[in-house]
């Protein structure tokens, strides 16, 4: 009788220990998942916002010639075809213009505005 009780007690201790191990595993997984989420989330949120901001600037300043949503009406360069590995060329064209058709924007737009437009250009419109 006594020995049965002991066995039961022992088994309970074991399952308690397993429960504690499980809890610590779950907590560690949650902590790791949380850390991963934190390191990934703000980046994508910032990127999405930059492209959205860039789209606003684009529609206000560039769409008249380059077309709404980057669909060129044929007046100017189709920005959906701009090579995406040539940010320097993009920045230079926007800052300094390309006479006679493309105006210079250095007095209206700063580097961050141009970066935001670039993020929008990279979305393909």
| Residues engaged in binding ligand HEC (CB under 6 A) | 61-62, 64-66, 76-77, 82, 89-90, 93-94, 98, 101-103, 105, 117
Rounding to the nearest 10 degrees, give the CA dihedral for residues 19, 23, 25, 27.
180
Q: Which is nearer to ligand HEC, 51 or 117 (CB)?
A: 117
Q: Which is nearer to ligand HEC, 20 or 86 (CB)?
A: 86
Compute φ and ψ for 121, nearest 5 degrees. Answer: -55, -40
Min separation Cβ 71 and ligand HEC, Å: 14
Q: Which residue is nearest to ligand HEC (CB)?
A: 101
Min separation Cβ 70 and ligand HEC, Å: 10
Q: Establish how many alpha carbons lie within 13 A of residue 72's alpha carbon, considering only the half-sphere containing its beta carbon.
A: 12
Q: Which is nearer to ligand HEC, 53 or 65 (CB)?
A: 65
Q: Which of 125, 43, 45 is nearest to 81 (CA)?
A: 125
* Distance, CA of 55 to CA of 95 (rounded, Å): 17
Min separation Cβ 41 and ligand HEC, Å: 29
């Amino acid at each position: 009788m006594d020995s049965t009780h002991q066995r039961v007690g022992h088994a309970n201790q074991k399952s308690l220990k397993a429960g504690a191990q499980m809890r610590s595993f779950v907590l560690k997984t949650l902590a790791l998942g949380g850390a991963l989420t934190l390191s990934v989330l703000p980046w994508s949120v910032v990127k999405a916002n930059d492209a959205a901001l860039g789209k606003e600037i684009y529609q206000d300043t560039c769409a008249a010639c380059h077309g709404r949503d980057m669909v060129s009406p044929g007046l100017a360069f189709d920005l959906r075809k701009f090579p995406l590995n040539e940010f320097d060329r993009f920045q230079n064209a926007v800052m300094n213009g390309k006479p006679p058709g493309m105006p210079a924007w250095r007095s209206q737009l700063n580097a961050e505005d141009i970066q935001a437009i670039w993020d929008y250009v990279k979305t393909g419109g």
